């Protein structure tokens, strides 16, 4: 780990090295916290029956919708620092609430459902906040140099999380997972404060005070921004295609795992193993390949690559619907997302305004994402209800994968145009780290 960091950061200036390292550690703690709890979430989803998972996805979607206007108000009335500190403190508090509930009640059915929905909201919300903050700190040029390194910190956390979860679940109760996750999320909050110290908090305060005055319409401003911007609508389409393929794979996996493994411990072990392979591949790629691939092949190729591969993979899944096939596709899909798609998608937001980075982006990353999950979940349930096989459903998803690839290619081209039209005097470039 130390050798990797020295190699990746050796050419950076002192302040840049500190900022990138602090950002990577922030993402490490954030994803470590989540991945400690993720196997527990997936197991609780299956405990309630794979055929009923569309209800969990629908509940998550409506929970996201309730968060969007509240977060819009938070963004409109507060500085960046207050937004981040309040949000992360609230989530730490919720983890502690679940700790006491599990201690008092045990994993009851309704507590399991609540935990599944809450953790699904938590994951998208805090990760969206992280990348919004990174897009505000780093310029478009700097993001192409550093986002791969920063993302690798998250992959290290996602790699450490399942290992910690396996150990704690074998030695202690569920409550130990929650307490450990809360500790790592607290360390993420400390890292946020460190980034403000390095960049200069006053610059963010001045920038925020220059924004428009607050009124009730600002609660839904992010939604309005999305539907009045062709560029943001393109990102919406990209996210919807992504989540459609993700949901199809997730449901196929759930059905196969439910029939293959009868014991809860076996299912948790399977999910943890998949997480381990995904993040092992992602961490190597992010340290040594992401930045080079983006610079050599361009953002368009990066955003189109994994979707195209998934289109071919779904063809294989349709003809050979087995646990090994779906496991391989899950590893390719998720590691490819961490290594290429996630950094690439976040680069798209480096050429947007402050409001779009927080309000519009949060709406896309949460409500749009989970809305796609819920819709595709019900479509999947409908297909299984009328007797379609898992292989046939995989075939139906193939055109979506290729549309996803085309959309990513076009978005990459549009980002380059916007980046070339931006001057350093424009507000979206203020207070950023440049190469």
Note the pLDDT of residue 303.
Answer: 94
Q: So what's the pLDDT on residue 209?
A: 40
User: Per the domain annotation, does 8 fall within a domain?
Assistant: no
Whether residue 174 is contained in a domain is answered as: yes
For residue 147, is it within any domain?
yes
Note the pLDDT of residue 434: 44
* 1 in a structural domain: no
Flag whether 6 is in a domain: no
> Would residue 4 count as lying in a domain?
no
Nearest residue to 4 (alpha-carbon basis) of 286, 406, 335, 299: 286
| Any domain includes 119 | yes
pLDDT of residue 213: 42
Domain count, the chain: 1
The CB density around residue 238, as the number of other CB atoms within 10 Å, is 25
In degrees rounded to 5, what are phi and psi of residue 348? -60, -30
- Give me the average pLDDT of each 10-residue run along the chain (435 residues): 50 71 92 86 69 75 74 70 86 90 77 82 80 79 76 83 81 80 94 86 48 46 81 93 92 86 75 82 77 84 94 94 92 89 84 77 78 86 89 94 95 87 48 46
Q: Which residue has the tokens 């993001």?
A: 143
DSSP string, 191-254: HHHHHHHHH-HHHHHHHHHTSPPP-GGGGGHHHHHHHT-HHHHHHHHHHHHHHHHHHHHHHHHH
Is residue 2 domain-resident? no
CATH of the domain at 364: 1.20.1250.20
By residue range, what is the domain housing residue 279?
14-429
């Amino acid at each position: 780990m130390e050798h990797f960091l020295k190699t990746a950061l050796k050419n950076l200036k002192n302040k840049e090295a500190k900022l990138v390292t602090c950002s990577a550690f922030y993402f490490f703690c954030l994803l470590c916290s989540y991945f400690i709890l993720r196997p527990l979430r997936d197991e609780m989803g299956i405990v309630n029956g794979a055929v009923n998972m569309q209800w969990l996805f629908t509940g998550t979607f409506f929970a996201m919708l309730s968060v969007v206007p509240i977060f819009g108000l938070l963004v409109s009335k507060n500085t960046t620092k207050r937004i981040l500190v309040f949000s992360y403190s609230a989530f730490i508090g919720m983890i502690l609430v679940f700790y006491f509930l599990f201690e008092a009640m045990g994993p009851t059915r309704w507590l399991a459902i609540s935990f599944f929905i809450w953790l699904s909201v938590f994951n998208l919300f805090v990760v969206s906040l992280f990348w919004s903050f990174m897009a505000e700190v780093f310029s478009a040029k700097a993001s192409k140099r550093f986002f791969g390194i920063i993302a690798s910190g998250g992959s290290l956390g996602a790699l450490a999380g399942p290992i910690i979860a396996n150990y704690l679940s074998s030695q202690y109760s569920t409550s130990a997972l929650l307490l450990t996750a809360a500790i790592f999320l607290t360390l993420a909050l400390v890292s946020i404060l460190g980034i403000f110290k390095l960049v200069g908090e006053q610059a963010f305060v001045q920038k925020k005070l220059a924004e428009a005055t607050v009124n009730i319409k600002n609660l839904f401003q992010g939604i309005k921004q999305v539907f009045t911007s062709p560029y943001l609508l393109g990102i919406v389409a990209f996210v919807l295609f992504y989540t459609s393929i993700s949901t199809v794979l997730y449901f196929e996996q759930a059905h196969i795992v439910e029939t293959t493994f009868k014991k809860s411990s076996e299912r948790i072990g399977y999910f943890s193993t998949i997480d381990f392979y995904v993040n092992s591949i992602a961490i190597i790629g992010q340290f040594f390949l992401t930045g080079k691939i983006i610079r050599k092949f361009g953002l368009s190729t990066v955003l189109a690559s994994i979707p195209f591969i998934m289109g071919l993979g779904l063809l294989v899944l349709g003809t050979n619907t087995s646990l090994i096939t779906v496991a391989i596709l899950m590893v390719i899909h998720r590691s490819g997302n961490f290594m290429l798609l996630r950094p690439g998608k976040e680069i798209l937001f480096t050429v947007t305004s402050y409001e779009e980075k927080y309000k519009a982006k949060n709406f896309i990353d949460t409500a749009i994402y989970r809305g796609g999950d819920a819709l595709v979940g019900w479509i999947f349930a409908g297909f299984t209800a009328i007797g379609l096989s898992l292989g046939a459903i995989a075939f139906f998803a193939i055109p979506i994968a290729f549309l996803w690839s085309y959309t990513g290619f076009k978005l990459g081209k549009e980002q380059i145009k916007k980046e070339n039209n931006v001057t350093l005097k424009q507000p979206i470039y203020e207070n950023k780290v440049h190469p």
